[in-house]
């Protein structure tokens, strides 16, 4: 009887994207990620830009499309500066500080290697340091994904208490 196997399995990483939303600038930015061999996640340069009022079906489709862009890739990150941040550059705002104050951030990632369940995590910047999370099946229809993202964003905005 063999209790331990000597074959080495390749680790799969859960997919990940970040969605930045701004009603003021009427934009939604969707940033797919790379992950390197040391598990460092970083944004890809290819940021999808949608109008803030895009319909939920298109929004959900974009979430799925960008999750599928997730890949393993090593890069030299030590020379990167905050101004090199792909989502910031896609926003076309003048400063990183303005971007961080005008766009809300929601991270979406698979909860395991199979990516069957997606977790939506929203920063609230509340004085209580409480963030929000919701989960949904990765196989939910596109409209449901878009609706869930918007509901979380609404809750996120309402929790911005100083």
Position 42 scores a pLDDT of 67
CA dist 145 and 148 (Å) reads 5
Assigned CATH topology for domain 16-158: NMB0488-like fold (3.40.1590)
pLDDT tens-digit map of 136-161: 999 999 999 999 999 999 999 887 54
Residue stretches of the chain with pLDDT short of 50: 1-2, 4, 6, 161-162
Read off the pTM.
Answer: 0.87
Position 10 scores a pLDDT of 58
Closest to 131 measured CA to CA, from 119, 122, 120, 144? 122
Q: Is residue 131 within 8 Å of 84, Cβ to Cβ?
A: no
Position 127 scores a pLDDT of 76
Instruction: Report DSSP state, residue 4.
Output: S
Q: Is residue 22 within 8 Å of 103, Cβ to Cβ?
A: yes
The partner residues of 18 in beta bridges, in order of sequence, read: 31, 107
pLDDT tens-digit map of 4-22: 454 555 567 889 999 999 9
DSSP 89-135: HHHT-S-HHHHHHH-EEEEEEESSTT--EEEEEE----TT---EEEE
Please state the domain extents for the chain: 16-158
Q: Residue 17: helix, strand or coil by DSSP?
A: strand
Q: Residue 157: helix, strand or coil by DSSP?
A: helix
């Amino acid at each position: 009887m063999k209790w331990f196997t000597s074959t080495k399995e390749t680790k799969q990483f859960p997919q990940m994207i970040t969605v930045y939303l701004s009603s003021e600038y009427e934009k939604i930015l969707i940033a797919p990620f790379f992950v390197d061999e040391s598990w460092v996640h970083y944004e890809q340069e290819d940021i999808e830009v949608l109008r803030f009022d895009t319909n939920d079906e298109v929004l959900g489709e974009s979430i799925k499309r960008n999750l599928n862009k997730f890949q393993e890739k090593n890069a030299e990150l030590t020379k990167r500066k905050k101004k090199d941040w792909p989502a910031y550059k896609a926003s076309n705002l003048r400063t990183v500080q303005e971007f961080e104050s005008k766009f809300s951030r929601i991270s979406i990632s698979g909860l395991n290697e199979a990516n069957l369940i997606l977790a939506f995590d929203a920063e609230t910047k509340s004085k209580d340091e409480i963030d929000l999370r919701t989960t949904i099946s990765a196989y939910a229809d596109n409209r449901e994904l878009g609706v869930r993202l918007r509901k979380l964003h609404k809750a996120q905005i309402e929790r911005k208490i100083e």
